[in-house]
Structure 1
Amino acid sequence: MIFISALIFCGFLSCTIAKDSCYNKTDYEFYIVQNLVDDVQKRIKSLKENLNAAVNAQCPNTTCPNTTCPDGWVSYKGSCYLFENGQSRTFQEARIFCLNFGAVLAYVTDETENNFIRGMLERLKPSAWFISLTDQGTEGVWKWVDTNTIEGYTAWSSGQPQGARRENCAAYVDSDSFRWHDAPCSAKYPSICKKKELLKVHKRN
């Protein structure tokens, strides 16, 4: 519409109307670009104002926390999760894999977190996934190895753990509705990594 109006007004860039000279080609192109830039800047300003309004409405304090996860990681309640899909590793290899990202093999603190993880695993194809629960140190004493804490919340399947000294590492098993089973630590499953989100601060205007 701007282009058509300008052509009519300028008489195809060659006429003079009402004693006002028409834009030459270069001036006309600059005029169009400048108008586009002005329009984009107005839209960006409007979006920023709307975003600030939305953030301020949700945050009663003078600053709001804003957390971020790396690409490929999933955010949930202040933590980032990486669900490996395709590559399988032993328990120890899975720990090292997560440590390379500044993370640990996942530990689970409560039922809501467990349900979140199960919901994510339903979208993937492998049959089992390692978490950091093991009784390799003392048989029957299960610990979250990377946090060195005794198991608190658990989601063992009925009759699990049952492998005694043969199966000392825990894993989600999809064939049992993603309940936990003990498994050989030498088995090869994908990893679930977990780390804290990076915390940034958003200042209210």
Structure 2
Amino acid sequence: MVVWPAQVLLPIALVIAGTVVAGSGDSMERVENSGEDDGRSTERPGLVCPCTQGCCANAWFQYKDACYLPVTGDTHDWSTVKENCERFGTHLASVHSDDEQSFIFHLMGQRTRYWIGAEGTDDPAAPWRWTDNSTWQYEKFGQPLRPSNPPIPMALAVNRSKNKGIYWINAPKSNQHMYVCKYLLY
């Protein structure tokens, strides 16, 4: 493998699905396409990025049309981490597919017991909701969730076992876990 000195590296430009990401090293800039149709279609033209950090703020990582910040240094209760994400203008991460769940799990260093952005409600027809108000269309519970007696404010944390893989558990909001924040690029 050839290792080039930093002075020799040329600026790069990548064109993918209507977006140009240009720059060199760790300085990337997203530039919108002129609008000419090349026959390819995407769900959100101009928001696809070929790099893990090029379209997101510094220290955030991109998956599809969202950016994620893994917070693994300290553990906090659910209300504190919810407020921490909101200070960034973001939310605790909502999860909408197995692929997104896997991405977040690996982003968190394959750690278990971290908070995601779901909390319990008093509505039996919709017992969980995402803090970012996105649609509840995916869930990954490892076992049937039992209500606590007496009722305790609950939220979802991620767990992993050899038999069940990655799954969600309900946990008292007072528990201490790491967490992941998320914001959408559009």
TM-score scaled by length of structure 2:
0.66
Aligned partner letter, 1:195? Y
Partner of 1:162: 146
Which runs of 5 or more residues in structure 1 are unaligned? 1-39, 200-205
Superposed, 1:151-190 pairs within 5 Å as 151-157=136-142, 159-164=143-148, 165-166=151-152, 168-175=154-161, 177-190=165-178
Higher helix fraction: Structure 1 or Structure 2?
1
Work out whether residues 136 and 169 of structure 1, in 8 Å CA contact, stay in contact via their aligned partners in 2: no
Partner of 2:25: none
Structure 1 residue 65 corresponds to structure 2 residue 46: yes
Aligned partner letter, 1:193? C
Work out whether residues 170 and 183 of structure 1, in 8 Å CA contact, stay in contact via their aligned partners in 2: yes
Secondary structure of residue in 2 paired with 1:171? strand
Aligned partner letter, 2:129? K
Partner of 2:182: 194
Of all paired residues, the percent bearing the same amino acid is: 22
Work out whether residues 128 and 172 of structure 1, in 8 Å CA contact, stay in contact via their aligned partners in 2: yes
Which runs of 5 or more residues in structure 2 are unaligned? 1-6, 20-32, 36-44, 50-54
Bigger radius of gyration among the two = 1
Partner of 1:143: 129
Partner of 1:117: 104
Work out whether residues 142 and 150 of structure 1, in 8 Å CA contact, stay in contact via their aligned partners in 2: no
Quick one: distance in 2 between partners of 1:78 and 1:151? 18
Work out whether residues 130 and 170 of structure 1, in 8 Å CA contact, stay in contact via their aligned partners in 2: yes
Alignment deviations for residues 123-146 of structure 1 (CA, whole Å, 9 cap, x no partner): 255x41111111144367111133
Work out whether residues 91 and 131 of structure 2, in 8 Å CA contact, stay in contact via their aligned partners in 1: no
Work out whether residues 105 and 191 of structure 1, in 8 Å CA contact, stay in contact via their aligned partners in 2: yes
CA RMSD of aligned residues (A): 2.9
Higher strand fraction: Structure 1 or Structure 2?
2
Q: 1:150 deviation in Å? A: 5.6
Q: 1:174 deviation in Å? A: 3.5
Partner of 1:36: none
Quick one: distance in 1 between partners of 2:104 and 2:56? 16
Q: 1:155 deviation in Å? A: 0.8
TM-score scaled by length of structure 1:
0.60
Secondary structure of residue in 2 paired with 1:195? strand
Work out whether residues 85 and 124 of structure 1, in 8 Å CA contact, stay in contact via their aligned partners in 2: no
Aligned partner letter, 1:160? P
Q: Higher relative contact order at CA 8 Å, sep ≥6: structure 1 or structure 2?
A: 1
For these two proteins, the number of residue pairs brought into alignment is 147
Secondary structure of residue in 1 paired with 2:177? coil
Superposed, 1:72-91 pairs within 5 Å as 72-91=59-78
Secondary structure of residue in 1 paired with 2:104? helix
Work out whether residues 153 and 173 of structure 2, in 8 Å CA contact, stay in contact via their aligned partners in 1: yes
